[in-house]
Chains A and B, each alone.
Chain A
Amino acid sequence: MKPRLSAVVLLLLSWGACALHAAPDAGEAAVRRTLARAILAEGAEQQSLLGEVSESGSKLAHDVLAAWTRDGVYLYHPTASSSVPVLLEDQLDAQGKARAVRIDDGHIVTDARGGELRFDPNTLDTADTDMRLRSTIQQALDALTLADPDPDARRAAVVKLGNSQKLKYIAILEARRPREPVADVRKAIDESIALLELGETDPQVKIQAIHRLTQLKSMGSLDRLKAMADNPATQPLVAQAAAAALLELQRHIERVNFFGTIFRGASLGSVLLVVALGLAITFGLMGIINMAHGEMIAVGAYTCYVVQNLFGSGFRFAITLPFSFFGRQVGFGLNLPGLNAGGWFYQSYFLFAIPLSFVAGALAGLALERTVIRFLYRRPLESLLATWGVSLFMQQCFRMVFGANNVQVDSPSWLLGHFSIDDVSFGYNRVFVIGFAIVIVLGTWLLLTRTPLGLLIRSVMQNRDMAACMGVRTDRVNMFTFAFGSGLAGLAGAFLSQIGNVGPSLGQNYIVDSFMVVVVGGVGSIVGTVCASLGIGTVDQVLQQLLESPVVGKITVLVAIIFFLQWKPGGLFTTKSRSLD
């Protein structure tokens, strides 16, 4: 089993290496040759060569042309009659000279014996430009950014042109539109063309542009349309169309904001849910107020950090205690070598980190239960105090091992970015959190209701003494339940590491909220926890939107919860019981 596994790992590693060292394509050599010819050519030939370059979409062409407009392209004469266009490197040596790179093949300029030549920028001829050439180059540059291989860069360039209010770009954009492969960018091009056409003089064209903007639900045109509708100099028909479009757009924006808020609320609710679910187990089912729950979350988040470093350059720390023992400084440290993985394999670290953070949280919970909690099952208020002591202890340990500042946990590339449906953007990480919350809740529910262990857990939580009389080993069940709850906290930490900062006080930011969720939901009820966390998450986001301040929104939520408990003191879903106390 083992050799096969390592073979797979090697295979994965070599894939990653291949992806990193992609060979330069043959197209680049052609672009270089065309560029060099364009610089040396004149008149109509130069124009057509530049046109050819502008279609390539090459980054290199962009850089060279940009250098050309700044007089940064030089001519080197190997013989009296021939010239070679070169770029000088930025790094100047002591004599103020630099190496030259040939534009036509990308090699360093050498003398006959192969020694590198160095040039003073002030003594070399520059490739001259005049007004007309510069404007052609500029056009080529604009077209080049529109042909950039990265769709996001293309979209940004299109939006920039659309906002420039210069009519000459309409032609460039229209030329690009049929060749644009990505629908999103095509839409941006349409929008930009319509935006530019607002600047035309013909009112008919303007009105049509306004109609098209309305159809495209262009939020970027809002300011322009507002200015047009308010400007008394606008023709009445145009102003009318603009006002109607404005109304339509505002309705659209409200809709987008509404669904955006719901989505953000759901994702915040999912985070709360994942964070509070562990608490619902330890507090709701076991009656233990674990103030160190937040630190269990931090354990999970730091596990992600450590795993990430193990996939990268390794993880190490060293602590020196501030006192000496028999004249020697006391300290301890750890030095774990890293895999130095790259590319695809490195990006998959998070998949390994998720189960490991569960395990780390569960182990920490196990240790806590064995050393502290098991003495306190009959004294819930005191469990609050002792676990607060544990929380302080652990926070300081985090500070000593990982430093007092936040650590950097990179999101894997497949969690970055977002997709949009009708202008409502859905971040992949948020969608991931929502999906995972569903999985975790289902898993917990199945464990509690469909497994023998779940049956034992529920019996011990309902009546510890009776369960013990029936032969249930309550001590062991307690241990597993607490470890499971803490493991869920560790999982929550893995998710928080993807959407926020990871620092020693990470857990503190969530502890009050998650207690609120459990109390509002009804202690001991998983359904209640789900409803409460989604409800609180959404209400929080809606209030933030309405009150335009996260802090005031949060305070309002807390006060609202206090009043809610007046109405339903036992929370949303109360466990019916005839017992007192």
Chain B
Amino acid sequence: MPGSSKKLEAWITVLAAFVAIVVLPVLNGLVPAGSALHVSDFAINLYGKYLSYAILAISVDILWGYTGLLSLTQALFFSLGGYMMGMHLMRMIGDLGQYHKPIPDFLVFLGWDYLPPFWRPFSSFPFALLMSFLLPGGLALVFGYLGFRSRIRGVYFSILTQALTYAASLLFFRNSLLMGGNNGFTDFKFLLGFDLRRASTQRGLYIATAVVLLLVYLGCRWLSRTKFGLVQQAIRDGENRVLFSGYAAAHYKLFMFVLAAVIAAIGGILYVPQVGGINPSEMATDKSLEAVVWVAVGGRGTLIGPIVGAIGVNALKSWATEAFPDLWLIILGTLFILVVLFLPGGVVSIPSRLAPVWRRWRGRTPGPEGGGKSDPAKAGAAAAPQPVTDPP
């Protein structure tokens, strides 16, 4: 049974990846706009956003689901990656801004007439990309070192990471940081010479996001099956036993924390050019908690779960904020309470929860020889009131 479910999972992965990477872009680019099968540019852009959120969700999950660290700072790393890439994109606007000056508009607005020194190297794409990894990774390294060294764990770790995120968002709201203040960065024009306002560029970014998501997924899947990954999960289940078995748990946790920061930053790098802006509200503590919601809803401790959760909850959000703008927060809050209380394994655990019911139903119904006569609806109705005391 486990073998077949593994095979099934592999097939689903391949199919989903094929649909996301090949089918959707083809339907967007090659099928004419009038056709029923056409996927609009808006939709592709929206899916691209969901997929970069899915990368963020994976980064939350490898910490929370696999290492037992509930980090409320992943949205900060996500936005830091985004901000570094955003700085490059701001430089690429050139003098096409409102003020037609060679420096970003908000700097002109703040009274600058030359580029602040720390902005200069961001004209180079490789440097910006490097910084997108180095800054979140470096911050995670320093904070993680301090935190894990003094054995801060459990809820204290969550509270401290929340404080870090809060402090950082306060900092980025300030104009004097010269990172755009409240409004952040917006109005991007070019990336690597491609015009960001064109549908083909957005399609390319979408495909890139889908491919990166697949790679991140496969990479994390591989890591979780190595010996390293097993120690990781052992830390989640019983940190003291791991410690007393002679493993330096703090080093393992630190590595995972930095890795998760970098993965979140990758999500941010892909997010910014597709959404067309970034501002400090993206790094507020609420966003980190929201990312944790995606993982919880999808299913923590699995790698499919975060992806399902990120896409599902965001799709629900897009729909609900339009249909019931006043009730959206109530829907999200209720969904969250219900999932935590009644579905700790998330949406992906539904099949395995239903499996015993399914098996019992199969056991009740006559074999294939008499199957023709049985009415599935009737059989289902008969199975439902059955007492749960049956051993599976």
* Interface stretch (choices B87-95, B168-176, B202-210, B364-372): B168-176
**Given A393-B334, A565-B150, A569-B151, A559 and B293 touching (CB < 8 A)?**
no
Contact of B155 among A384, A386, A397, A561 (CB under 8 A): A384
Contact of A396 among B150, B174, B333 (CB under 8 A): B333
**Given A384-B158, A519-B156, A581-B240, A569 and B150 touching (CB < 8 A)?**
yes
A374 to B324 alpha-carbon distance, docked (Å): 31
A158 to B276 alpha-carbon distance, docked (Å): 59
* Interface contact A389-B335, CB-CB below 8 Å: yes
A-facing residues in B297-348 (Cβ within 8 Å): 323-330, 332-337, 340-341, 344
Contacts of B328 in A (CB 8 A): 396
**Given A516-B163, A562-B164, A396 and B170 touching (CB < 8 A)?**
no
Q: Tell me, yes or no, whether B132 is within 8 Å of chain A by CB.
A: no
Contacts of B39 in A (CB 8 A): none
* Interface contact B337-A390, CB-CB below 8 Å: yes
Contacts of B336 in A (CB 8 A): 385-386, 388-389, 392
* Interface contact B163-A561, CB-CB below 8 Å: yes
A321 to B330 alpha-carbon distance, docked (Å): 12
Q: Tell me, yes or no, whether B289 is within 8 Å of chain A by CB.
A: yes
* Interface contact A389-B334, CB-CB below 8 Å: yes
Chain B interface main SS type = helix
**Given A381-B154, A555-B171, A397 and B330 touching (CB < 8 A)?**
yes
Q: Tell me, yes or no, whether B216 is within 8 Å of chain A by CB.
A: no
Q: Tell me, yes or no, whether B167 is within 8 Å of chain A by CB.
A: yes
B-facing residues in A515-571 (Cβ within 8 Å): 515-516, 519, 551-552, 554-555, 558-559, 561-563, 565-566, 569
Which of chain B's residues has its CB closest to A400's CB? B326
Q: Tell me, yes or no, whether B166 is within 8 Å of chain A by CB.
A: yes
Least CB distance, B309 to chain A, in whole angstroms: 12
A532 to B108 alpha-carbon distance, docked (Å): 43
Q: Tell me, yes or no, whether B292 is within 8 Å of chain A by CB.
A: yes
Q: Tell me, yes or no, whether B260 is within 8 Å of chain A by CB.
A: no
Contacts of A390 in B (CB 8 A): 333, 337
Q: Tell me, yes or no, whether A372 is within 8 Å of chain B by CB.
A: yes
Least CB distance, B221 to chain A, in whole angstroms: 24
Which of chain A's residues has its CB closest to B338's CB? A389
* Interface contact B330-A393, CB-CB below 8 Å: yes
Q: Tell me, yes or no, whether A304 is within 8 Å of chain B by CB.
A: no
Which of chain A's residues has its CB closest to B143's CB? A562
* Interface contact B158-A558, CB-CB below 8 Å: no
Least CB distance, A425 to chain B, in whole angstroms: 29
Contact of B337 among A321, A393, A551 (CB under 8 A): A393
Q: Tell me, yes or no, whether B196 is within 8 Å of chain A by CB.
A: no
Least CB distance, A366 to chain B, in whole angstroms: 17
* Interface contact A562-B160, CB-CB below 8 Å: yes
* Interface contact A392-B332, CB-CB below 8 Å: yes
Q: Please encode chain A, from 387 to 421, with 1 for each CB lying within 8 Å of some chain B CB and 0 for all others.
A: 01111111111011000000000000000000000
Q: Tell me, yes or no, whether B159 is within 8 Å of chain A by CB.
A: yes
* Interface contact B149-A565, CB-CB below 8 Å: no
A399 to B30 alpha-carbon distance, docked (Å): 46
Q: Tell me, yes or no, whether A183 is within 8 Å of chain B by CB.
A: no
Least CB distance, A416 to chain B, in whole angstroms: 31
Which of chain B's residues has its CB closest to A518's CB? B159
Q: Tell me, yes or no, whether B296 is within 8 Å of chain A by CB.
A: yes
* Interface contact A512-B326, CB-CB below 8 Å: no
Which of chain B's residues has its CB closest to A397's CB? B330
A interface residues, tally (CB under 8 Å): 46
**Given A386-B336, A512-B163, A562-B146, A393 and B329 touching (CB < 8 A)?**
yes
Q: Please encode chain B, from 114 to 150, with 1 for each CB lying within 8 Å of some chain A CB and 0 for all others.
A: 0000000000000000000000000000010011011
Q: Tell me, yes or no, whether B285 is within 8 Å of chain A by CB.
A: yes
Which of chain A's residues has its CB closest to B241's CB? A580
Q: Tell me, yes or no, whether A230 is within 8 Å of chain B by CB.
A: no
Least CB distance, B390 to chain A, in whole angstroms: 26
* Interface contact B167-A559, CB-CB below 8 Å: yes
Q: Tell me, yes or no, whether A376 is within 8 Å of chain B by CB.
A: yes
A563 to B164 alpha-carbon distance, docked (Å): 12
* Interface contact A565-B158, CB-CB below 8 Å: no
* Interface contact A388-B289, CB-CB below 8 Å: yes
* Interface contact B170-A551, CB-CB below 8 Å: yes
* Interface contact A385-B167, CB-CB below 8 Å: no
Contact of B150 among A384, A558, A566 (CB under 8 A): A566
Contact of A381 among B158, B167, B326, B335 (CB under 8 A): B158
Q: Tell me, yes or no, whether A16 is within 8 Å of chain B by CB.
A: no
Which of chain B's residues has its CB closest to A381's CB? B70
**Given A386-B341, A512-B163, A562-B163, A392 and B333 touching (CB < 8 A)?**
yes
* Interface contact B334-A382, CB-CB below 8 Å: no
Q: Tell me, yes or no, whether B74 is within 8 Å of chain A by CB.
A: no
* Interface contact B166-A512, CB-CB below 8 Å: yes
Contacts of A332 in B (CB 8 A): none
Q: Tell me, yes or no, whether A151 is within 8 Å of chain B by CB.
A: no
Which of chain A's residues has its CB closest to B166's CB? A512
* Interface contact A551-B173, CB-CB below 8 Å: yes
Q: Tell me, yes or no, whether A322 is within 8 Å of chain B by CB.
A: yes
Contact of B340 among A382, A394, A565 (CB under 8 A): A382
* Interface contact B333-A393, CB-CB below 8 Å: yes
Q: Please encode chain B, from 203 to 247, with 1 for each CB lying within 8 Å of some chain A CB and 0 for all others.
A: 000000000000000000000000000000000000110000000
Contacts of A380 in B (CB 8 A): 154-155
A399 to B327 alpha-carbon distance, docked (Å): 10
A291 to B162 alpha-carbon distance, docked (Å): 12
A70 to B148 alpha-carbon distance, docked (Å): 77
Which of chain B's residues has its CB closest to A571's CB? B156
B-facing residues in A263-316 (Cβ within 8 Å): 287, 289, 291
Q: Tell me, yes or no, whether B110 is within 8 Å of chain A by CB.
A: no
Contacts of B23 in A (CB 8 A): none
* Interface contact A396-B326, CB-CB below 8 Å: yes
Q: Tell me, yes or no, whether B152 is within 8 Å of chain A by CB.
A: yes
Q: Tell me, yes or no, whether A326 is within 8 Å of chain B by CB.
A: no
A566 to B174 alpha-carbon distance, docked (Å): 28
Contacts of B155 in A (CB 8 A): 287, 289, 380-381, 384
Having A381-B154, A580-B240, one finds 18 other A-B pairs with CB under 8 Å, namely: A321-B327, A322-B324, A322-B326, A322-B327, A380-B155, A381-B155, A385-B289, A389-B336, A392-B336, A393-B334, A396-B327, A397-B330, A515-B162, A516-B163, A551-B171, A555-B171, A562-B143, A569-B151
Write 21 A-B pairs (CB below 8 A) sorted by A numbering: A289-B159, A291-B289, A322-B324, A376-B341, A380-B155, A382-B344, A385-B293, A386-B337, A389-B293, A389-B334, A393-B333, A396-B333, A397-B330, A512-B162, A515-B163, A516-B163, A555-B170, A555-B171, A559-B167, A562-B147, A565-B150
Q: Write the residues of chain B forming the contact surface with A, with a CB cutoff of 8 angstroms.
A: 70, 143, 146-147, 149-152, 154-156, 158-160, 162-164, 166-167, 170-171, 173-174, 239-240, 285, 289, 292-293, 296, 323-330, 332-337, 340-341, 344
Please give me the 4 A-B residue pairs with the lowest Cβ-Cβ distance, nearest first.
A389-B336, A393-B333, A392-B333, A396-B329
